[in-house]
Amino acid sequence: MQSDWKFGHVCLVVRDMEKAIKHYESLGVGPFPPFIGGPEGTPLTERTVHGEPSDYDIDLRVCRDGMGGLSIELIQPLKGRTIYDEFLEEKGEGVHHVMYNVEDIDKEIAEMEKAGFNVIQTGGIEGVKWAYFDTDKVGGMITELGGRIK
């Protein structure tokens, strides 16, 4: 666990994607092309929230290497109850999670669960899946792991 994790991105959850994009682009961060979910992005698969199947949808945009090499992800929840909605209700807009790419996603999920961190949401696209873990009490934010399905 963690020895082969590679930093992926920092994610901010927003209520209004277009407003957020305008704000970050005014700071010189962008562009944020459609990526996953919503009307223009790749459809989501394998979705669960707190262990239950879900049909949630999101608008997810990524600015690759937008801030000195740091990738920034913006997520706006669109449909269905998600951990993003919970975050917006409890904390408002802001930094939601840090994501790491892993070689063996299923192995890492099992190791995180063995270490006592519950999976709180999952999703996937085209041969890739990701899982969010309840690490908020330890590090002040959620941890996401993502990788290719083997």
**pLDDT, tens digit (0-9, with 9 covering 90-100), for 24-72:** 999 988 999 988 887 788 889 989 999 999 999 999 999 987 667 789 9
What the block records as the tokens of 22 is 């305008």
pLDDT at 1: 62
Residue 136, H or E segment: helix 136-139
- What lies within 8 Å, CB to CB, of 88 at 6+ separation is 13, 15, 77
pLDDT at 16: 98
Residue 78, H or E segment: strand 70-79
Report how far apart the first and last C-alpha atoms of the chain are (Å, whole number): 17
Sign of the C-alpha dihedral, residues 44, 143, 35, 103? negative
Q: What is the DSSP-derived secondary structure letter of residue 114? A: H
CA–CA distances in Å: residue 72 to residues 79, 81, 135, 150: 22, 23, 20, 27
* Residue range 105-117, pLDDT digits in tens: 999 999 999 999 9
As a whole number of angstroms, the distance between CA 147 and CA 131 comes to: 9
Domains of the chain (ranges, CATH numbers): 6-148 (3.10.180.10)
* Residue range 89-143, pLDDT digits in tens: 999 999 999 999 999 999 999 999 999 999 999 999 989 999 999 998 887 889 9
As a whole number of angstroms, the distance between CA 75 and CA 36 comes to: 9
